[in-house]
Every structure is written in C-alpha cells, then in structure tokens.
Amino acid sequence: MNTRTKQWLSALALMSAGIVAHAQPVPSLTRDQQAGLDKQDQDIAQMAGAIVKMIDENRAGEVWDASSAVAKKVITREDFIGKITRDRAALGTPGMRMPMGVKHLHFDGSGNMPAGWFMSVSFDTQFSQARQSSREVVTFMLDADRTWRFVGYSVR
C-alpha cells in the first residue's frame, strides 16, 4: 500500500470516527490528507450524480447491476427497480437538483446496518409534480476490495 493511500485511509478513519463518535475530538489533518479527503468527496459526489442521472433515465437495473454484494443481498434487482419506479412515479420528472454534501459514516454491525464504512451524498431536488423539494440520498459502502460501491438510493 503506498503512502498516499495510507494517508487517505487515515484521514477517512479519522473523519468517520469523528462523525460517528461525536465526543471524540478529530485531530488536525495534514494538507495532503485534507486534499485526499476533498478529492475523494468530489469523486463520490460525481458518482452519486451519475447514479441519480441513470435513475432519471429509467436505468435503475444498471445501477443495481453495479452495486455492492451487500446491496444485492438486501434487495433483488426486480424489487429495486420496482421500488424506485413507485417512489419516483408520483414526483414527476426531476428539475433543479442541488448537491447538499457528503457524509462519512461507520457502523459496527450491531444495528440494522452492516459493519463497515459508508458515504452518503444528499441532493435537494425539485420534481415537476411535487409541491416542495425532495431529498435524494445515494449511499456507497467501502467493499472488501477497498472500492466504493453503490448500496442504496432513497427519495423523501
């Protein structure tokens, strides 16, 4: 593992630990660690943008095809497509979509979430048939091969 990857993982662990365990102070990051974290957040936000665009284009099946094995254990491809179709049907077509940021999370597996590192990207989206904007959330999980993969989409 190269030094840059180790720094990135250290930064991610520090930030995630700080978000989940609010009582623990987060140590300062080096400039390189912060830059790596910022780049990772930008990359994840771009991936999330591509996913919501695929969902807009009725390509939810392709999203599921590329998802994490964890996601595929939770919901079948057909159920995933059906849920997204039902959730989005009453909202109409998406219009203005504003990214609201990236959240870093860690779960220990004791609740209803599997153990692991997660990132969620939120969008504030105005749909044509909705009176007020909706919150779209795209979630990724760090898989065992150290690759971030899609694990969930919701719209509220």
pLDDT score for 87 = 92
Overall number of domains in the chain? 1
CATH assignment of the domain containing 41: 3.10.450.100
- Beta-bridge partners for 140: 119, 150
Tell me if 25 is assigned to some domain. Answer: no
Q: How far apart are alpha carbons 128 and 56 in whole angstroms?
A: 13
pLDDT score for 138 = 97
pLDDT score for 111 = 82
pLDDT score for 114 = 86
pLDDT score for 98 = 95
pLDDT score for 26 = 55
pLDDT score for 17 = 36
Name residues of the chain where pLDDT drops below 50: 1-24
Tell me if 39 is assigned to some domain. Answer: yes
Tell me if 135 is assigned to some domain. Answer: yes
* Domain encompassing residue 130: 3-20+30-155
pLDDT score for 12 = 36
Q: CB within 8 A of 153, min separation 6: which ones?
A: 51, 52, 55, 63, 84, 136, 137, 138, 139
Tell me if 125 is assigned to some domain. Answer: yes
| Three-state secondary structure readout of the chain | CCHHHHHHHHHHHHHHHHHHCCCCCCCCCCHHHHHHHHHHHHHHHHHHHHHHHHHHCCCHHHHHHCCCHHHHHHCCHHHHHHHHHHHHHCCCCEEEEEEEEEEEEEECCCCCCCCEEEEEEEEEEEECCCCCCEEEEEEEEECCCCCEEEEEEEEC
Q: CB within 8 A of 57, min separation 6: which ones?
A: none
Tell me if 127 is assigned to some domain. Answer: yes
